[in-house]
Amino acid sequence: MIRAHRVDDVRAAEAALMASVPDGALMQRAAAGLAVVCQSLLAERRGTVPGSRVVLLVGGGDNGGDTLYAGARLAARGAQVHAVLLSPQRTHTGGLAALRRSGGRTVEGSSALDSVRRADLVLDGIVGIGGSPGLRAPATNLVSAAASSTALVVAVDLPSGVEVDTGRTPLDHVRAGVTVTFGTHKVCHLVDPGSASSGVVRLVDIGLGPHLPRAAVEALEDADVAALLARSMVPGRTDDKYRRGVLGLHVGDRQYAGASVLAASAALNGGIGMLRVVGDPVVSAAVRDACPEAVLADGRVQAWVAGSGTDPSTAAAVVPRLLDSGVPAVLDAGALGVSRRLRPDVLMTPHAGELARLLGVRRGDIEADRLGHVRQAAESLDATVLLKGSTTLVATPDGRVRANHTGTPWLATAGSGDLLAGLAAAFLAAGMEALDAGSVAAHVHGLAGSMAAAVTGSPSATDVLAALPRALLRLRLPESAS
């Protein structure tokens, strides 16, 4: 599990740890880990560290100190290290002295820009977790030069200019290829648009773990998903189809019958014991033709899924009855506009445009602050909300949030959301909590999308559906699945 914490929690954990270790120990741990990562990156790019050109963009405070000490270690290994001091009056004196002792030197003005343009690696140590969003000159000029060069930009703890606790990027900021963070992930590493600017995130353990509270945002890894699938979706010797979970699907309208077929197919691939289909007889027959396992009869279910391919007016007459049954439910597409307080075991799956309509804001507002709006929706609706997008977020009414980072932009295709809704509903019917069902479904769906893209290049929803069994097998049997 990847866990990300807010700035205040990180600062409190650092203070608690610093009280038990010698002065400067945390900075040296961070700098050593940062230098090791940079050495590895330089070796990958150039084959060697000696002779590499490294530029440090150094702000004031501890983030600048981490950067300078790491630069000193790289200089000691033979790298040519130049430091640009952006806050000379606040430069970490110990770090600067260490850099100079190791052979590094400072540059400024046109020499600084020239060094950045010729660098193999640029370390962004401009601001740390205490910084405000946005960059000011001359940092903006240097960051722009780095972006237009061939250098690999490595952010120290986080990309400077990104809003740490939200992932928002309202102003100029660094776009890193790699971010080396210390102690724990920060929220901006997991939530777009900040996540996209963080690149690949490498975590250096400096001993904060025992002092950190519950994470502000989490992200499941393959092992976490495999464990949740094993607990809920793998049948025991004495299980029957009813114990494995019975899902009810209320089909959509006739002109969108394919959406119901995709949702049903994904649910059956997810591992439920039975699928009951109700609603329009023509659409129900289409589902039965595509999925002979489907049962076209009402009856007892452990969860409902509704909304795929459904007109909102149709859903308004149906969804309240499904919710009144008291079982968990997934509401997608046309079913999202139900005007009532819900429950935490109801999983809503909007994209940014749908969430904007639910909250009465603009789509651009959602995209600019995905975390804030998904939390707002979960709290105001008293439901679990899955916000689809480049990094899907799943939020609960009590403030828990998970981010998903599997997937590919090719998943932005018609029918993809129907697959996700059906898959999440299958996991819900099998007994997962809504948070687990949504985040596991997003992980599996993203993995299947990437696998389908590797085969077809530009996968359709049908291609992603075909890849679902392989994605699930890879998670359950990682050593034997291809």
Alpha carbon distance 229, 411 (integer Å): 22
Alpha carbon distance 320, 157 (integer Å): 47
> Is the model's pLDDT at 283 over the cut of 90?
yes
User: Are the C-beta atoms of 287 and 312 separated by less than 8 Å?
Assistant: no
The last residue of one of the domains, among 218, 233, 257, is 218
Within 10 angstroms of residue 344's Cβ, the number of other Cβ atoms is 17
Do 203 and 230 lie in one domain? The reply is: no
Alpha carbon distance 246, 301 (integer Å): 5
Do 214 and 236 lie in one domain? The reply is: no
Residue with tokens 């945390």: 26
pLDDT band, residue 228 (cuts 50/70/90): very high
pLDDT of residue 9: 98
> Is the model's pLDDT at 480 over the cut of 50?
no
pLDDT of residue 243: 83
Residues in a beta bridge with 248: 276, 304
Do 189 and 245 lie in one domain? The reply is: no
User: Are the C-beta atoms of 429 and 249 separated by less than 8 Å?
Assistant: no
> Is the model's pLDDT at 154 over the cut of 80?
yes
Round the average pLDDT of the chain to a whole number and report it.
Answer: 95
Do 75 and 169 lie in one domain? The reply is: yes
Do 101 and 50 lie in one domain? The reply is: yes
| Domains: count for the chain | 2
Q: Which domain holds residue 163?
A: 2-218
The last residue of one of the domains, among 218, 234, 269, is 218
User: Are the C-beta atoms of 176 and 199 separated by less than 8 Å?
Assistant: yes
Distances (CA, A) of 432 to 230, 232, 237, 440: 11, 7, 20, 9
Do 372 and 314 lie in one domain? The reply is: yes
Question: 423 in a domain, yes or no?
Answer: yes
pLDDT of residue 479: 54
> Is the model's pLDDT at 141 over the cut of 70?
yes
Question: 351 in a domain, yes or no?
Answer: yes
The last residue of one of the domains, among 179, 200, 218, is 218
Do 378 and 251 lie in one domain? The reply is: yes
pLDDT band, residue 482 (cuts 50/70/90): very low
Alpha carbon distance 349, 369 (integer Å): 17
CATH number at residue 369: 3.40.1190.20
pLDDT digits (tens, 9 = 90+) for 16-31: 999 999 999 999 999 9
pLDDT of residue 239: 81
Calculate the CA dihedral of residues 458, 351, 338, 306 and round it to 10 degrees. Answer: 20
Do 242 and 391 lie in one domain? The reply is: yes
Within 10 angstroms of residue 213's Cβ, the number of other Cβ atoms is 11
* The overall pTM is greater than 0.85: yes
pLDDT band, residue 263 (cuts 50/70/90): very high
Alpha carbon distance 37, 154 (integer Å): 10
> Is the model's pLDDT at 481 over the cut of 80?
no
